[in-house]
Amino acid sequence: MASGEDENTYLKKSKCDSRIKEKILQEPMATDWEGGNYNPYRLVTVEEGSDEYDVVENLFDETSRGLTITQVKRVENPYLLGQYLMKKEKMARKRLFVDERLLFHGTRESNVDGICRFNFDWRRNGQSTGHKFGQGVSFTPEVSYARHYTSGENVFFLVKVLVANSTIGNASSIIPPPDYDTTENVYGTVIVKYEDDDFYPQYLIYA
């Protein structure tokens, strides 16, 4: 949510025109969505054993170091998805290649509603753990790393993240250098984003 923007204003903006919502729900990322009333989002349990569940579980298990999933929920928020898709199109027009990555973000249960409702807020990221590789929202391909940010609650988001041009960041990186949109550590295990709508929280995972 933008600085100075109250929740009522945001919710008015998030009530998509029915024609726009219909178009968004036809996008590949919304193929499995159940539809219905979004106010402004829904959390839908993904059935264990389904193809969708298996994709999430297999990706999680690759780097979880023995941590086991107990539940997966799909985040259905047409407004946030629409904003993400528009940002993806905008970035693609400016650059020849935009990488769409699936990355993890560890958090606490108390933050879940705010993330599903408003998306990740890069202005607040790092308040409890500090900024090591840039003062934005941090993501990682490794569950074991994301786990450090869950305060023992083992709550994760699996997130679609747009990356075009990336460079090495540090604690003083308030924004990325010109012509870059992303910073990361030297190992590529921490990815930091600085702009709204560069990411979409696709799944909520409990372990």
- Name the residue ranges covered by the structural domains of the chain: 7-206
pLDDT at 147: 97
Alpha-carbon torsion (138, 61, 81, 152), positive or negative: negative
User: Can you read off the two tokens belonging to residue 14?
Assistant: 């998030």
User: Can you read off the two tokens belonging to residue 171?
Assistant: 């604690």
Let me know: does 188 contact 145? Beta carbons within 8 Å.
no
pLDDT single digits (tens) 7-38? 444 444 545 566 667 778 888 899 889 877 88
pLDDT at 45: 98
Q: What is the CA radius of gyration of the chain?
A: 17
What is d(CA 90, CA 93) in angstroms, rounded to the nearest whole number? 5
Between 207 and 128, whose confidence is greater?
207
198: left (phi over 0), alpha (psi -120 to 50) or beta: alpha
pLDDT at 3: 36
Res 60 pLDDT > 60: yes
- Give the contacts of 145 (CB within 8 A, at least 6 positions apart): 63, 104, 106, 189, 190
| CATH for the 7-206 domain, from 3.40.50.720, 3.40.50.12780, 3.40.630.30, 3.90.228.10 | 3.90.228.10
pLDDT at 17: 63
pLDDT at 15: 53
Please give the angle made by the CA atoms of 174, 83 and 156, to the nearest 5 degrees. 65
Let me know: does 168 contact 186? Beta carbons within 8 Å.
yes
Res 54 pLDDT > 50: yes
Query: How far is Cα of residue 61 from the mean position of the Cα atoms in its chain?
Result: 19
Q: Tally the residues of the chain.
A: 207
Please give the angle made by the CA atoms of 125, 57 and 80, to the nearest 5 degrees. 45
User: Can you read off the two tokens belonging to residue 88?
Assistant: 């993806």
pTM of the predicted protein model? 0.87
pLDDT single digits (tens) 123-140? 655 444 446 777 899 999
User: 20 vs 9, 14, 26, 75, 159, CA distance in Å?
Assistant: 19, 11, 10, 18, 23
Between 75 and 21, whose confidence is greater?
75
